């Protein structure tokens, strides 16, 4: 049933998103946009010595995209760039493949239900597309899910 998608932790993070604010002293920023549903997101990172010290976001989106951004910013803190990129790949696999759910994803495993809702995969990945663009430090244009 729909509870598989909207697990308690997702509902909690969508209603009370963590790290949901702009960051004055961010040294990496990126914007993400999902043209299909109009979801927009700005991601802020503070990266020092190749480690993500702080992460935050602002934006408007559905429960899935908001919760995904909220949980992503939580899980990024303290990760090296390489670890963050690895997490991104693992998260993407969680949503799109039938592979075993990775234990190292922590709280992020709550998104495994999204797999059953192909139309919603992009909602869950918007923040992560944006992360990739922020870490790669390119992109003057917003990254899109399309």
Q: Which residues of this protein are in contact with other proteins, per CB under 8 A?
A: 1-2, 5-6, 11, 14-15, 36-40, 60-64, 117, 119-120, 123
If the CB atoms of residues 9 and 62 are measured against other proteins, the closer one turns out to be 62
Contact 130, 143 (CB under 8 A): yes
- Least Cβ distance, residue 41 to other proteins (angstroms): 12
Which residues, at least 6 apart from 131, have a Cβ–Cβ distance to it below 8 Å?
Answer: 30, 43, 45, 72, 76, 84, 88
- Least Cβ distance, residue 1 to other proteins (angstroms): 6
Task: Give kind and range of the element (H or E) at residue 44.
Answer: strand 39-48
If the CB atoms of residues 6 and 83 are measured against other proteins, the closer one turns out to be 6
- Least Cβ distance, residue 86 to other proteins (angstroms): 29
Q: Beta-carbon neighbour count of residue 48 at 10 Å?
A: 9
């Amino acid at each position: 049933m729909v509870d598989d998608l909207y697990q308690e932790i997702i509902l909690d993070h969508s209603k009370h998103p963590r790290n949901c604010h702009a960051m004055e002293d961010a040294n990496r920023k990126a914007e993400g946009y999902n043209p299909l549903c109009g979801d927009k997101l700005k991601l802020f990172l503070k990266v020092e010595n190749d480690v993500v010290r702080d992460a935050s976001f602002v934006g408007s989106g559905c429960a899935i995209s908001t919760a995904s951004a909220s949980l992503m910013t939580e899980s990024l803190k303290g990760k090296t760039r390489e670890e963050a990129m690895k997490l991104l790949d693992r998260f993407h696999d969680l949503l799109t493949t039938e592979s075993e759910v990775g234990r190292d994803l922590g709280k992020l495993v709550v998104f495994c239900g999204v797999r059953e809702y192909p139309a919603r995969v992009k909602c869950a990945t918007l923040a992560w597309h944006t992360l990739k663009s922020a870490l790669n430090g390119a992109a003057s244009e917003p990254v899109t899910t399309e």
